[in-house]
Amino acid sequence: MKQTKKLTRPYSKPSMVKLGGPLYAKHGAASNNSVPVRTSISKVPVSELAQKFGSPLFVFSEDAIRNAFTNYTEVFKRFYPKMVFGWSYKTNYLKAICAIFHEEGAIAEVVSDFEYEKARALGVPGEQIIFNGPYKPKAALKRAIEEGAVIHVDSMDEIYQIESIATEIKLTARVGLRVNMNTGVYPQWSRFGLNIESGQAMDAARRLAKAPGIDFEGIHCHIGTFMLSVQAYEIAAEKMANLFLEIESDTGIRLKYIDMGGGFPSKSHLKGVYQSPEVAVPNISEYAIAITSCLKRIFADSELPTLVLEAGRHLIDEAGFLITSVISRKLLPDARRAYVLDAGVNLLYTSTWYRPVFELDGDEGSFLEPAVLFGPLCMNIDVVDNSLMLPPLRVGKRLVLSPVGAYNVTQWMQFIQYRPAVVLVRKNGKVDLIRHKESLEAVENLEVLPEDLQQKQATVLGFKSRNVS
């Protein structure tokens, strides 16, 4: 019989790879075909973070958060004297993150009873909370009225409900009116609040102006998210200012504020946008000028209303990173290289619409081949990236994804895998754990196993081991 030669290295099937990338010019290939490298986050080595806290790992930079907030608020304050800044909880409501924004002077913008409770538990007083959203349960409305939060009504039904609660508890509710409008950006966000062009917003304003138990304080819009159009804000500001004045002339009530919501983009790559974020994303000062110059022009002869903003994404996206590692490699039947990572779409909800930058923790050379990145889920849809040019990566090789600070640590799922730890690199370089990696106990905490189903498993399982008699 033929003796098989003992292999010293595991066999790997040879393959041919069609080289993509630039065409060869007469001086050879273009030399910019390398993958960006990142070996540290806020000066802390990626290897140190992963060794100490595990992989995958979400990392936030306190410096980046504070700098983003300072830059944004300074820009607006330069153009407009009466500003109030809210922090959008749903964008990232980890306590440590919210606490930083509050310390910087932001009030809380919440969109549910859960977020309201979170802000209160963190010590934010009721009067420093803007309560938005299409569903505010009765108990939450009652609490918000009692605690003096500003409630932005989303529908006529909500107005009736607030009237009835406020009269019942003999208190006055602070109320703002959420409106929507055509800003030339489609699809139009017409499902929140009441529409300006159809006259519904004005009808609601008339009702609020004379409703019992209601102090009508302002108008609010939030025209979309990742809005690349500066002009849309200009149109919105103009419509808001005109509505403000129409409310005054019609009802005699001069409101206190105009809330223009959030929606300012981060330097993230929205899929389908051809240009790089550096080119496609306008500077925040362009938005500030568009909004504030419009308000200053329309209110030239009268007192300026307070301008409220509720940014989320713009302030936190670039402060967040995800460290992930290669678990295994394979070659797909179509000859593409594939890597399985320990982080997948369970942690990167936003990867459906945004393509993060993939950086390698260390240079791996410039022989690049097309690669697919899969996540760790036992689900075919768990694809982190479908077509990336990467050098050959070893098992254990770490990648750093960014910007991922907005919406991922709120929209991530507990599905199949534990959700990983989140850390914050402090100003002084110290690294603080701000959310533990999940444990079986944490995940099962809310489950209840009925008594008659306990302890029965041993007798019903039929898949016995050969070694156990």
Segment interacting with ligand PLP (CB under 6 A) among 46-54, 94-102, 238-246, 259-267: 259-267
Q: What would the DSSP string read from start to end of 168-197?
A: HHT-PEEEEEEEE---S-SS---SSSEEST
Least separation in angstroms between residue 284's CB and ligand PLP is 11
Q: Which two tokens stand for residue 303?
A: 């007192």
Q: Applying CB under 6 A, which of residues 115, 310, 318, 342 lies at the interface with ligand PLP? A: 310
Segment interacting with ligand PLP (CB under 6 A) among 62-70, 84-92, 136-144, 358-366: 84-92
Q: Which two tokens stand for residue 361?
A: 């923790």
451: DSSP letter: G
398: DSSP letter: E
Q: Is the peptide bond before 403 cis (omega within 30 degrees of 0)?
A: yes
247: DSSP letter: H
Q: Is 419 in the site for ligand PLP (CB under 6 A)?
A: no
Q: Is 405 in the site for ligand PLP (CB under 6 A)?
A: no
CA dist., res. 81 & res. 83, Å (int): 6
Q: Is 91 in the site for ligand PLP (CB under 6 A)?
A: yes
Q: Applying CB under 6 A, which of residues 61, 69, 80, 90 lies at the interface with ligand PLP? A: 90
**Three-state secondary structure string covering 318-335:** HHEEEEEEEEEEEECCCC
Provide the angle, in degrees to the nearest 10, between the axes of the packed helices 113-121 and 138-147.
Answer: 40
Q: Applying CB under 6 A, which of residues 42, 73, 88, 324 lies at the interface with ligand PLP? A: 88
Least separation in angstroms between residue 450's CB and ligand PLP is 39
Segment interacting with ligand PLP (CB under 6 A) among 23-31, 40-48, 260-268, 379-387: 260-268
Segment interacting with ligand PLP (CB under 6 A) among 20-28, 257-265, 293-301, 432-440: 257-265
Q: Is 132 in the site for ligand PLP (CB under 6 A)?
A: yes
Q: Is 268 in the site for ligand PLP (CB under 6 A)?
A: no
Q: Applying CB under 6 A, which of residues 143, 269, 313, 397 lies at the interface with ligand PLP? A: 313
> At which residue do the structure tokens 């895998």 appear?
417
Q: Applying CB under 6 A, which of residues 225, 292, 325, 351 lies at the interface with ligand PLP? A: 225
Q: Which two tokens stand for residue 164?
A: 């009835």
Q: What would the DSSP string read from start to end of 346-370?
A: TT-GGGGTEE-EEEESS---S--EE
3 state SS of 89: helix
Phi and psi for 279 in degrees, rounded to 5? Answer: -90, -40
Q: Is 261 in the site for ligand PLP (CB under 6 A)?
A: yes
Q: Which two tokens stand for residue 64?
A: 């980046």
Nearest CA among 178, 282, 284 for reference residue 240: 178
C-beta of 261 vs 376, nearer to ligand PLP? 261
Q: Count CA atoms closer than 13 A to 276's CA, side-chain side.
A: 2
CA dist., res. 52 & res. 48, Å (int): 6
Give residues with Cβ within 8 angstroms of 462, minimum separation 6: none
Least separation in angstroms between residue 427's CB and ligand PLP is 24
Q: Applying CB under 6 A, which of residues 213, 218, 277, 312 lies at the interface with ligand PLP? A: 312
Binding mask 338-367 for ligand PLP (x = CB under 6 A): ------------------------------
Segment interacting with ligand PLP (CB under 6 A) among 85-93, 156-164, 231-239, 287-295: 85-93
Least separation in angstroms between residue 287's CB and ligand PLP is 11
Least separation in angstroms between residue 351's CB and ligand PLP is 17
CA dist., res. 176 & res. 132, Å (int): 9
Q: Is 291 in the site for ligand PLP (CB under 6 A)?
A: no
Q: Applying CB under 6 A, which of residues 193, 213, 262, 375 lies at the interface with ligand PLP? A: 262
Binding mask 157-196 for ligand PLP (x = CB under 6 A): ----------------------------------------
Q: Applying CB under 6 A, which of residues 219, 311, 341, 377 lies at the interface with ligand PLP? A: 311
Size of the site for ligand PLP (CB under 6 A): 17
The answer to whether the beta carbons of residues 347 and 263 sit under 8 Å apart is no
CA dist., res. 125 & res. 115, Å (int): 13
| Contact set with ligand PLP (CB under 6 A) | 88, 90-91, 109, 111, 132, 222, 225, 261-264, 310-314
